[in-house]
Amino acid sequence: MPVVVVVGAQWGDEGKGAMVDTLAEDADIVVRFQGGANAGHTVIYKGKPVALHLIPSGITHEHTVCVIGNGVVVDPKALLDEIESLSSLGISITPERLKISDRAHLTLPYHRMLDAAREMAGSRLRLGTTRRGVGPTYVDKVDRVGIRVGDLKFPERLEAKLRINWEHKQAFFNALPPDERPDFNAVLDELLRYADLLQPYITDTVTWLNEQANAGKRILLEGAQGTGLDVDFGTYPFVTSSNTTAGGACTGSGLPPTKITSVLGIAKAYTTRVGEGPFPTELHGEEQVKLREKGREYGATTGRPRRCGWFDAVLVRYAATVNGCTALALTKLDVLSGYPEVKICVAYRWRGETLTTFPAESFVLEEVEPIYETLPGWDEPLSECRSWEKLPANAQRFVMRLQELVGVPIATVSVGPERSCVLMKPDAPSIW
């Protein structure tokens, strides 16, 4: 009865989508458990990249049922657009293949406005969010004024619920120029339209998932973002508004901790970050541009250039600890081909001290200087390698050193975005 959690071990975009898509070959069910349309998970379908935002990365496998769990915040417009664009590629999405939790919260049009308004209010508040309304939707959830997917099943009650949420937003609406204020009836009509379209997908996924787990189904729980963006464990306040780590897989799906059988952390062979916040190993100038271009590091959701730097073993070791990773999948090793030397940050120097653990305070992380270990690089392109044994010795040495520093077995090494580019490392623990 394997239930495998897949989480990002850095600041997102580690290649979770590609890895989940690969593992989903052996999965019955793939579940997203947190985040919203801020995520951009790339899978290769018929030779072309497809960016998924709300729909789990198992969707291209016809045998896989995909679930949007209770912990996700669902923008119904973004979801319907995604269903339509996937359908146009020939990926059929039916209520048998996609289930949306009745307990998931809805992102309304003005949540996106609130997100953007905060970003534009001044540099002190700016986080560099994706402006998908994710933070404000979670605020409403915790403030107990949110509207849930299940409310769409009862249109006659929706108006009263929307009214409560609307009153809660009055101060914000009143501060807008009159012609920019949203109209209550227009928003209600829009929601009622979505209610009709989404009705067949709405499910008590908590009960359903537990039944499936009890029946021995193979379940993958797909995290969005990464440990460095977790609202508790990440670089607060430069984080997203959910628990991106393994604990979030339970609260965001309703599958209890006792049902989780393993936790796979995904880490890139280097580090990237989008938006504001500390990033100790960030490269600058031409060095940053070189890595960005080699790795094609541009956001799958917003198209923003990603900040790039060397692998940070302090961060990934911390991620392995808070997630309880049983194994790691290392991605994008191919991108490091051609560097005469490759670097790994093994500790931080801060005000004369050596830090080997990830500090809680973002200002400390802003001030630290990375302590690097330098290893010899390799010239050979890796994208055609189809086994661990075929990797150049220096590439293998780099991976083995990362494994030693992080303290968790590396199960797979990826050398390209396709399923066939995921190489099993000998003696690695089985992921399933």
Residue 415 sits in the site that holds ligand GDP (CB under 6 A): yes
Residue 49 sits in the site that holds ligand GDP (CB under 6 A): yes
Applying CB under 5 A, which part among 33-41, 105-113, 261-269, 310-318 lies near Mg ion? 33-41
Residue 300 sits in the site that holds ligand GDP (CB under 6 A): yes
Residue type, 227: T
Residue type, 419: R
The angle subtended at Cα 36 by Cα 30 and Cα 42, nearest 5°, is 60
From candidates 35, 40, 71, 277, binder to Mg ion by CB under 5 A: 40
Q: Nearest approach, Cβ of 264 to ligand IMO (angstroms)?
A: 15
From candidates 109, 128, 305, 392, binder to ligand IMO by CB under 6 A: 128
The angle subtended at Cα 128 by Cα 308 and Cα 298, nearest 5°, is 40
What would the DSSP string read from start to end of 53-111?
SSS-TTTTSTT-EEEE-TTSEE-HHHHHHHHHHHHHTT----TTTEEEETTSEEPPHHH
Which residue from 342, 366, 343, 346 is spatially nearest to 355, judged by alpha carbons? Answer: 346
Distance CA 17, CA 24 (A): 10
From candidates 2, 6, 15, 378, binder to ligand GDP by CB under 6 A: 15
User: Which CB atom, from 41 or from 111, has the smaller least distance to ligand GDP?
Assistant: 41
Q: Nearest approach, Cβ of 108 to Mg ion (angstroms)?
A: 24
Residue 248 sits in the site that holds ligand GDP (CB under 6 A): no
Residue 421 sits in the site that holds ligand GDP (CB under 6 A): yes
Q: Does 13 qualify as catalytic in the annotation?
A: yes
Residue 13 sits in the site that holds ligand GDP (CB under 6 A): yes
Other beta carbons within 10 angstroms of residue 95's beta carbon come to 13
Look up tokens 């330098």; give the residue.
374
Applying CB under 6 A, which part among 91-99, 123-131, 336-344, 398-406 lies near ligand IMO? 123-131
From candidates 4, 8, 9, 13, binder to Mg ion by CB under 5 A: 13
Angstrom distances, CA of residue 242 to CA of 71, 136, 415? 8, 11, 30
From candidates 2, 12, 58, 265, binder to ligand IMO by CB under 6 A: 12
Minimal CB distance residue for ligand IMO: 275
User: Which CB atom, from 51 or from 188, has the smaller least distance to ligand GDP?
Assistant: 51
Residue 17 sits in the site that holds ligand GDP (CB under 6 A): yes
Residue 225 sits in the site that holds ligand IMO (CB under 6 A): yes
Which residue from 380, 142, 102 is spatially nearest to 242, judged by alpha carbons? Answer: 142
Report which secondary-structure segment, H or E, holds 5: strand 3-8
Report which secondary-structure segment, H or E, holds 314: helix 313-323
Structure letter (DSSP) for residue 196: H
Looking only at the bridges linking them, the beta strands covering 65-68 and 29-32 are: parallel
Q: Nearest approach, Cβ of 267 to ligand IMO (angstroms)?
A: 12
The angle subtended at Cα 172 by Cα 36 and Cα 239, nearest 5°, is 35
Q: Does 21 qualify as catalytic in the annotation?
A: no
User: Which CB atom, from 135 or from 252, has the smaller least distance to ligand IMO?
Assistant: 135
Selecting among 21, 28, 41, 151, the annotated active-site residue is: 41
Distance CA 418, CA 425 (A): 17
Indicate which residues carry an active-site annotation.
13, 41
Which residues would be at the binding site for ligand GDP (CB under 6 A)? 8, 12-18, 40-42, 49, 300, 331-332, 334-335, 414-417, 421
The residues of the shown chain that bind ligand IMO, judged by CB under 6 A, are: 8, 12-13, 38-41, 127-130, 132, 134-135, 224-226, 229, 240-241, 274-275, 300
